[in-house]
Structure 1
């Protein structure tokens, strides 16, 4: 199959003064207390949102841990700052809770690139295959799957299924799928979609940067092209990249993932230096420039509006939610049964 076309929004600028940020935070904190709500934010969101989440007993993490925190916390309302599939995953795991987002327009190129009707036909054309979908998909796509996986557990799940001699479909990220095929020897049938942030990292530019910083370790997210992954010292999920930056002895790191992650990395390793991997080749321009434009739609302004109005609520058909919970729970059960590894 061929890739699905969609529009990429322009980056949004949120130019608040320091005093305005303080005022927004004060008002939002009062609303969170009034509504028994909690802010759950992804590593790629704005620094001020991540700070607000942690200042108010909320949580900043990757998409799955965001949803798991939402399920175990006592709040009645979850305000998910990220992209829409993250809000949906939180709702799947916490159907009894209200899930709000600053905006429902914040989506994901992987989600957009895997519409349910086309994906269902793709699966139907391979009826004997086990269907594995990445967490970066809609609730409807998850409901069509046998397994839901995150980048931190995908290798182990595929190795498990490979040992059972099961043919597999992988969706939606073709780069992550290719990486898994190469690492495991699997021959999964791959859906053709990609993350616009990670697709733009360039091996030539990264190689040049390594010559400038020869002592820097290179940390790469597996949604990146194979030529970029080949230059990595560590390949891992967002949480694994953060952990590697803390545990490795290097003083400098070249990081090939969304630069929103630098906020948390600098907090946890303030004495280390983090350098953006290049996204634009010679004479080229970048669409994402190492930051997801949909993540950039989350702001203190629309977060406050969502709480004030109870707007941008995530609603999922119960039939879809129940079916999506099955492969998601399968992953959670698998995750709890064994130790996961960082690939170096």
Structure 2
């Protein structure tokens, strides 16, 4: 979201206990805790699949009377979630259902409805960018001859496949450090059985393509390089090479934040003047949490009066994100006249914050629909006695799956499977049995 929203809510969090800032995974858990504490209304700042998930989890927890409100009377979409709700994605899963035994690993950033329909086609477990590699490796280790079908993020799927290919060049000891049940032979054997969807991207991470890689090589070759698993393959490979040199990280937003904090702390411990430059290969809104973490480290670490550590965050994204100007003038720039002075107009960022004069903006237009104005409007009308914000209510799934079951019930099951895996490091027995019982004609979840 906008730094304005994050900043205000972070400050307000110190004075009001019922503000929770996190990724989408644990938002619903926090909403349940708020309801247990007596909150009658929950506002969700995010995209629609997040508010839908909060609504469903609250209903399952027995808090159906608690209102859930989103931040717009229009649809707050997500390109990844929409990619998984298409007939093409269901056709992809149809092929998976005909290749037993199969397991569908779906990114958490998808709608509850998609998770439900998918789970009835192929046994499904959700994942996050921080646990997807371990989830897939554990599935292959736990279920013999398994086919894993990942989706909907095509870049992440391709990057995971490339990561496993690189693991075949590691020693068995190095592979065991990543997952103790695997070695070179097992990694080589799973590669033909790992499938990923070919037509799903995040519109923000899609910006980190060939042009960005060239810009990094040209201008930021001495910087630390961070990249989310959702970026295109060329950026992923560049970040993996930087990682091998101790100069980069590839993973989730939390992995990126931890890497930056670690490098800043190391610089502070050296207690010498230093300038750290980080290329941020993910959504620009993350800079708010980075600034907060770095500031905390700088203020809490005692160093000599002379030593000074500076931290620079760089956003080298595609020129597609830059506004255009006319080439009518001889300088190639538009001009405006202010009094007797003629000033050139320089091409700038197309929209949003987190912009670099060398690149553009890696900014999600959907997340930017969450504004303080919307939050205040919703809160000021609650309880909504005159239906002023009825269009802001989160959708409650009343439809049923093809097998006549509640979408909320079936859609939550893949999430519960993931939580079991996070707690035990193993897939739940129920999910394993479902994957093993899949036949060539497909099956229904019982």
So what's the TM-score if we normalise by structure 1? 0.78
CA RMSD in angstroms comes to 2.6
Report 1:94-109 matches (<5 A).
Answer: 94-95=58-59, 96=63, 97-103=66-72, 104-109=74-79
- SS of equivalent to 2:149: strand
Q: Aligned equivalents of 1:60 and 1:282: distance in 2?
A: 28
Q: Does residue 113 in structure 1 map to residue 83 in structure 2? A: yes
Q: Aligned equivalents of 2:67 and 2:227: distance in 1?
A: 35
Partner of 2:160: 180
- SS of equivalent to 1:269: helix
Partner of 2:132: 154
Correspondent of 1:254 among 261, 279, 302:
279
- SS of equivalent to 1:335: helix
Partner of 1:291: 363
Q: Does residue 63 in structure 1 map to residue 21 in structure 2? A: no
Q: Aligned equivalents of 1:155 and 1:115: distance in 2?
A: 23
Q: Aligned equivalents of 1:47 and 1:126: distance in 2?
A: 41
The answer as to whether partners of 1:151 and 1:236 remain within 8 angstroms in 2 is yes
Larger radius of gyration: 2
Q: Aligned equivalents of 2:214 and 2:26: distance in 1?
A: 33
Q: Aligned equivalents of 1:207 and 1:72: distance in 2?
A: 47
Q: Does residue 265 in structure 1 map to residue 290 in structure 2? A: yes
Partner of 1:23: none
Q: Does residue 49 in structure 1 map to residue 34 in structure 2? A: no
Q: Does residue 195 in structure 1 map to residue 195 in structure 2? A: no
Q: Does residue 315 in structure 1 map to residue 407 in structure 2? A: no
Correspondent of 2:257 among 239, 242, 256:
242
Q: Aligned equivalents of 2:420 and 2:41: distance in 1?
A: 26
Q: Aligned equivalents of 1:303 and 1:284: distance in 2?
A: 30
- SS of equivalent to 1:219: strand
Correspondent of 2:51 among 87, 96, 121:
87
Worse overlay, 139-148 or 200-209: 200-209
CA change 1:189–1:203 in 2 (3 A) is closer
Partner of 1:224: 231
Partner of 1:171: 151
Structure 1 position 117, deviation (Å): 4.4
Q: Aligned equivalents of 1:268 and 1:282: distance in 2?
A: 28
Structure 2: tracts of 5 or more residues without a match: 166-190, 240-247, 268-275, 296-309, 325-348, 352-360, 382-387, 399-405, 427-446
Q: Does residue 325 in structure 1 map to residue 416 in structure 2? A: no
So what's the TM-score if we normalise by structure 2? 0.61
Worse overlay, 208-217 or 53-62: 208-217
Partner of 1:8: none
The answer as to whether partners of 2:154 and 2:201 remain within 8 angstroms in 1 is yes
Structure 1 position 242, deviation (Å): 1.4
Q: Aligned equivalents of 2:317 and 2:408: distance in 1?
A: 39
Structure 1 position 238, deviation (Å): 1.4
CA change 1:321–1:255 in 2 (3 A) is same
Worse overlay, 206-215 or 290-299: 206-215
The answer as to whether partners of 1:62 and 1:238 remain within 8 angstroms in 2 is no
Q: Aligned equivalents of 2:203 and 2:209: distance in 1?
A: 13
CA change 1:245–1:194 in 2 (3 A) is same
Structure 1: tracts of 5 or more residues without a match: 1-44, 340-344
